[in-house]
Amino acid sequence: MGRRISYREALREGLREALLEDERVFLMGEDVGRYGGSYAVSKGLLDEFGPERIRDTPLSELGFVGMGVGAALGGMRPVVEIMTVNFSLLALDPIVNTAAMLHHMSGGQFSVPLVIRMATGAGRQVAAQHSNSFEAWYAHVPGLRVLAPATVEDARGMLKLALADPDPVLIFEHAQLYNLTGELPEDERAAVDINQARIRRPGSDVSLVTHGGSLPKALQAANELAELGISAEVLDLRVLRPLDDASIMASVRKCRRAVVVSEGWRSGNLAAEVMARIHEQASPDLLAPVARVCSEEVPIPYARHLEEAALPHVHKIVSAVKTIMKQHD
């Protein structure tokens, strides 16, 4: 039997292990030190590792992300924490124009082994400017690896693998997951991968393809569908760039129907890319067109009932599955 642990605690254990194993690793960002992190992920690490390795930064994402790029080029292994994905927009230039491009533009002479962690997602009544899901923006960029851990084993284990990558890695932690608990398996290392998607629940009638904070909703929807006699397979993408086409197609070809669930806005969402690839590669196997469940095309509202209405939820997933189950080729 494994041990029960929260997503937040799993992230902290992963950070602590990385700091212990490699003296080049350090954490930097706003409030990561004395405050213990905006989401309490780094709580206690300053006392253990000191201010040289747990570095509080000014409120300047452009500045400290740029410093992280420089530190990575200088041989360090920085882990940069950006408080929320919304604030990462202030650092788009060092992330996209420098970190992602430098290996190519230097003819392979330089790599940027930088890890950037950031909270993403809505559902906490923190209004439009703090509730976005911009994973698809970064998954669009060659030169970046984009991860979305949604389980405690991925939360704990992905950082070590990301730090071993010679190129920049972005890790998106959905804010709704921090308090969730899960069973950390004894063979947790075998379960963690930063290359492949993973089936979280096997099924045979419909494939629910999702990632991040939408995974618990997809799993709950699968439970409700099972009561209706519908066997839903839940595929956790967990690696958003590069997408694991092989695992997606294997699930879709088996189930022959698919619903893609993603919290980003419908237009330009990662769900659209997944749908396009399914139709390009597995269209003859489908019994119905692929459906998607995404956020509504509005800035995320502050009011609780409006925020709930704007986001993907279990009943929307169940409804989408019921619709495509009625369709035939």
Provide the annotated active-site residues: 61, 130
Residues 202 and 255: beta-carbon distance below 8 Å: no
SS3 of residue 181 by DSSP:
strand
- Nearest to residue 256, comparing CAs of 158, 328, 155? 328
8-state DSSP, 94: I
Write out the two tokens for 275. Answer: 């749908």
CB 152: neighbour CB atoms within 10 A? 28
Which stretches of 35-134 are DSSP H helices? 45-49, 61-73, 92, 102-105
SS3 of residue 25 by DSSP:
strand
- Measure CA 111 to chain center: 23
